Structures are given as C-alpha cells and as structure tokens.
C-alpha cells in the first residue's frame, strides 16, 4: 500500500486524479491538501470538500496556500476558461459548510503526517508547489522522512502550456517549484512530455459513466466544460494531466525516466521553465552543480496507462 497525501487545486483533471487515488486498491489516501492554481484557494478548498462529501472520501482536507512562496509575488489570473468559474466545469458547486476542514494549515498537516509515518508517505503534488515549499522551509528535516514526491508539472523536452517555456503548475509559483526540485528528497517529475499523451475522449468517459457508480457519473458531468476547452486541441477529448502523476505511484513501469538535476527558471522570459541536466553530460560550471539528481518522465505507455485509468475508475 502506498500512503499518499494529495496536494491539489481542484480543478477538473484534479478531480479525476482524486477519484483514481480513492479507488485504487494499492493507495491509502491519508490526506488532501489544497492550493491555489486552477482557482483561488477558497474555491479549490470548497471543491475538495465537495468531492470529499460526494465521493465519501475518508481522508481529511487541509486548506493550503492562497499566495505564492516568496512574499509579495503576484498570483497569476485563474484559468476560468479551462476549469470554469467554479473550478469544476461550472456545474454549480453547492454549499459545503457541513463538511469539516482539518484545523491545520496544509503545510503543518504535511509536516505532522510525514513525521508520524517516517519513510512511508508519498506526496503527490498536482497544483502549485507552494505548500511543499512552505513545509520544507518550516521543517527541512522532512526531506529525510518522505518516501517520494511525485509532481505533475513542467515541460522537459516539449514546449510549455502557459508560455512557450513553462507549464502552468510550475509557472504559477516558480520559486516554490525550484525549492522543491533541489531539496534532498526523491522527486519524480511527470511533465507535459508524458501527460499530453494521456488523452481521454468524451465517449470513453461517457462509457465509464454508464458502467460505473455515481462518482464516475459526477466526474463525467463536471468534465464536459474542460473537454469543450480541449476540443480545440484534441478532438472531443481531454488531457488528464494530474491522473498521469497518480499512475506513476502505482505503475512506474508504464514510464520511461531520465535522471539529472532539475532546476526551474524563476524570472525573465523563461520564468517557470523546468530544465534538466541529464546525468553524465558535461558542461561548464552552472547552477545545476552540486544539486541532487531527480527523475523526469520522458516516455509513457499511453495505451497501458489509459487501460489502468479506466479499470480503476469503474471499480465500485
């Protein structure tokens, strides 16, 4: 069993990832921590609580950062055209005041849970890296206690999706992402290089909804607006970025990885760009020197991955 804390900004593709984590038999979801990103922190937290209630998720939800890691840095506009005004495809998310929130801030929840389960917790981070960076700053010793950190974010050998250089989760708080990438813990980056290959069609999702339980039916409903957005890029289909990172936890054999130090550009034209120095390649002195090598995913068995996604989502 993999004990997982899911750090997320729900978010339509975040919702699918959450359901996959909840349903997969090898995952013990022990916490959900929220961050700003696809919407403001109040909205993403409300959405996490809503999904917790609808999907009867036992794991506690702890509210996280609403602002960036470095004080005073401005938050980017929220992508309402992708995830809707409510962050969940404009389904009209209802009031959730009856669903309790964990009293701890996300960074404290992460620190305490990791310390209580030394060597056992996988952090799966699919929003801004702000909560992880805040936790690292407050308790750097957690790097020796976390099992691994699996991140949906970045673009290694392909263009970004918010600028030619940068992917949204990393661009949204580049300084936080750089701090997480160079910390002495095991990071696996699941970037656009592979997530853009995990594409689910509207009809595939519809089939899952017909076969599956009420949870999948809700997932189908809240995904329609997101599919409409992606329709311009992938015919009548959507990219399930965040689910891709969750798959790495249970089925790493579906991925090809490359090892090397990963740094994030924190300012200028390339702000938010993830750049890996592959192990064994020689360069002059650079900011990559002396940092820990991390794994970046550069290939995926997309067919095998999609089969696993579908099998897991239709479980009851």
Q: Binding of ligand BDR at residue 86 (CB under 6 A)?
A: no
Q: Binding of ligand BDR at residue 128 (CB under 6 A)?
A: no
Burial 223-254 (b: 16+ CB within 10 A, else e): bbbbbebbeeeeeebbbbbbbbbbbbbbeeeb
- Specify the stretch interacting with ligand BDR by CB under 6 A; choose among 9-17, 48-56, 91-99, 293-301: 9-17
Residues pairing with 200 in the sheet: 238
Q: Binding of Ca ion at residue 126 (CB under 5 A)?
A: yes
Judged by CB under 6 A, the residue of 7, 13, 173, 178 near ligand BDR is 13
Judged by CB under 6 A, the residue of 122, 134, 169, 223 near ligand BDR is 169
The runs of H, that is alpha helices, within 126-272 are 130-138, 168-171, 174-182, 192-195, 202-211, 214-230, 241-250
Contact 14, 239 (CB under 8 A): no
Q: Binding of Ca ion at residue 167 (CB under 5 A)?
A: no
Query: What is the nearest approach in angstroms of ligand BDR to the Cβ of residue 98?
Result: 26
Q: Binding of ligand BDR at residue 193 (CB under 6 A)?
A: no
Q: What string of DSSP letters covers 232-245?
A: TTSTTEEE-HHHHH
d(CA 32, CA 312): 19
Query: What is the nearest approach in angstroms of ligand BDR to the Cβ of residue 11?
Result: 4
Q: Binding of ligand BDR at residue 242 (CB under 6 A)?
A: yes
Would you say 14 or 108 has its CB closer to Ca ion? 14
Query: What is the nearest approach in angstroms of ligand BDR to the Cβ of residue 48?
Result: 13
161 binds, among Ca ion, ligand BDR, none (CB under 5 to 8 A by kind): ligand BDR
> What is the distance in angstroms between the CA of the first residue and the CA of the last residue of the chain?
19
CA distances from 125 to 92, 122, 159, 169, 290 (A): 26, 10, 21, 9, 25
Q: Binding of ligand BDR at residue 167 (CB under 6 A)?
A: yes
Enumerate residues 226-245 that contact Ca ion by CB under 5 A.
Answer: 242
Residues tagged active-site: 9, 241
Would you say 108 or 274 has its CB closer to ligand BDR? 274
CA distances from 189 to 154, 169, 260 (A): 7, 12, 11
- Specify the stretch interacting with ligand BDR by CB under 6 A; choose among 161-169, 252-260, 282-290, 303-311: 161-169
Q: Which two tokens stand for residue 150?
A: 């699996």
Task: Report which DSSP code applies to 72.
Answer: T
Q: Which helix (H) or strand (E) is 44 found in, with range?
A: helix 41-54
Enumerate residues 5-64 that contact Ca ion by CB under 5 A.
Answer: 9, 11, 14
Positions touching ligand BDR (CB under 6 A) are: 11, 13-14, 38, 79, 126, 152, 161, 167-169, 241-242
Positions touching Ca ion (CB under 5 A) are: 9, 11, 14, 126-127, 242
């Amino acid at each position: 069993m993999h004990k997982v804390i899911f750090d997320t900004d729900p978010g339509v593709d975040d919702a699918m990832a959450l359901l996959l984590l909840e349903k997969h038999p090898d995952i013990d979801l022990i916490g959900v921590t929220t961050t700003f990103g696809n919407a403001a922190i109040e909205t993403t937290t409300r959405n996490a609580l809503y999904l917790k209630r609808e999907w009867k998720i036992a794991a506690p939800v702890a509210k996280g950062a609403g602002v960036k890691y470095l004080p005073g840095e401005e938050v980017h506009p929220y992508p309402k055209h992708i995830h809707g005004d409510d962050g969940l495809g404009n389904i009209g998310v209802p009031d959730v005041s009856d669903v309790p929130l964990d009293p701890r801030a996300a960074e404290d929840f992460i620190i305490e849970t990791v310390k209580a389960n030394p060597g056992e917790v996988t952090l799966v981070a699919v929003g801004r890296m702000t909560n992880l960076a805040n936790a690292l700053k407050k308790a750097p010793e957690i790097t020796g206690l976390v099992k691994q950190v699996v991140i949906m974010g970045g673009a290694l050998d392909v263009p970004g999706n918010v600028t030619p250089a940068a992917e949204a989760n990393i661009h949204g708080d580049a300084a936080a992402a750089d701090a997480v990438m160079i910390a002495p813990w095991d990071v696996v980056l699941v970037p656009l290089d592979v997530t853009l290959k995990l594409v689910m069609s509207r009809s595939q999702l519809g089939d899952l909804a017909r076969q599956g339980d009420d949870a999948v039916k809700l997932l189908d409903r809240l995904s329609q607006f997101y599919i409409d957005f992606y329709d311009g890029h992938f015919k009548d289909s959507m990219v399930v970025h965040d689910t891709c990172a969750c798959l790495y936890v249970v089925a790493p054999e579906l991925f090809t990885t490359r090892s090397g130090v990963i740094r994030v550009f924190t300012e200028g034209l390339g702000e938010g760009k993830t750049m890996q120095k592959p192990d064994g390649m020689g360069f002059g002195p650079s900011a990559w020197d002396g940092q820990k090598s991390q794994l970046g995913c550069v290939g995926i068995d997309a067919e095998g991955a999609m089969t696993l996604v579908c099998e897991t989502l239709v479980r009851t």
